[in-house]
Amino acid sequence: TYRWLLEMLANQGYAVIATPFVNTLDHLAMAKNVLSSFDSCLNLIYAQRILRKKSLPIYGIGHSMGCKLHLLIGSLFSLERAGNILISFNNSAARDAIPLVEQISPVIKVEFTPSPKITNRLIQKRYQIRRNLLIKFKDDDIDQTLRLSDLLRLRFPDLVTVKRLNGNHLTPLGQDINWPVGKVYTPIDAIGQWLKQEVYRDLNQLKREILLWLNPLAQIS
């Protein structure tokens, strides 16, 4: 899950609204449902006065398929966003994204709605979120961030930031490991702490880049 990443943002003072979704072939319907869930939750938060200031900036953050949903939302619906954080964008065709899809349906062509080609066209012509952080991991064979950056820079040449970080497509899903240390610090404890540091080096770099983009003057630990 994205628990570590979202809790990290919350610990820095950001209010986090997570909107889970069920994968289907109809990505447009998924985008509508995500936006509806977000708006309903935000309205409830305001109604219960959990947040009282309604002028707070709103940022979207998505990983892989989540990027496509944010891009569709920003292209097809009227809304205000201070920016979007798009991690490991993937806009593959169904035959590439779903194992054995061609064997399951060899006669009828199976494709997402909208298709990758139409999605790119929508982004190029209608995407309205001006400020964007795009993150690409070096060991990610299915990432399509560079193609996305070309499309966004046609619309907002000075407001698109691309970061290439160490890691792979699953890096944002990393979880914090609580390694309990006994009363006596042993060599095994030292190895455990070293492994934890190595495993979460990429995840901490991701955290740092996100927080600095959100607030360039922030003090990041």
Residue 88, sorted as left (phi over 0), alpha (psi -120 to 50) or beta, turns out to be left
| CA distance to 11, 39, 46, 142, 152, per residue, from 93 (Å) | 37, 29, 39, 11, 20
pLDDT at residue 88, rounded to an integer = 98
pLDDT at residue 184, rounded to an integer = 57
pLDDT at residue 107, rounded to an integer = 58
Q: Output phi, psi for 141, to 5 deg.
A: -80, -15
pLDDT at residue 53, rounded to an integer = 82
pLDDT at residue 217, rounded to an integer = 84
Residues 6+ apart with CB under 8 A from 216: none
- Angstrom distance (rounded) from CA 169 to CA 139: 7
Closest by Cα among 117, 75, 115, 70 to 89? 70
pLDDT at residue 196, rounded to an integer = 60
Low-confidence residues in the chain, pLDDT < 70: 99-108, 175-199, 220-221
8 Å CB contact between 143 and 171: no
Give me the amino acid identity at 129: I
8 Å CB contact between 136 and 162: yes
What is the per-residue pLDDT across 67-98, written as a single tens digit (0 to 9) for each?
999 999 999 999 999 999 999 999 999 888 77
| CATH class of the structural domain 3-176 | alpha beta
Give the global pTM. 0.87
What is the per-residue pLDDT across 110-143, written as a single tens digit (0 to 9) for each?
889 999 999 999 999 999 999 999 999 999 999 9
Tokens in use for 131?
A: 């400020």
- Angstrom distance (rounded) from CA 18 to CA 60: 10
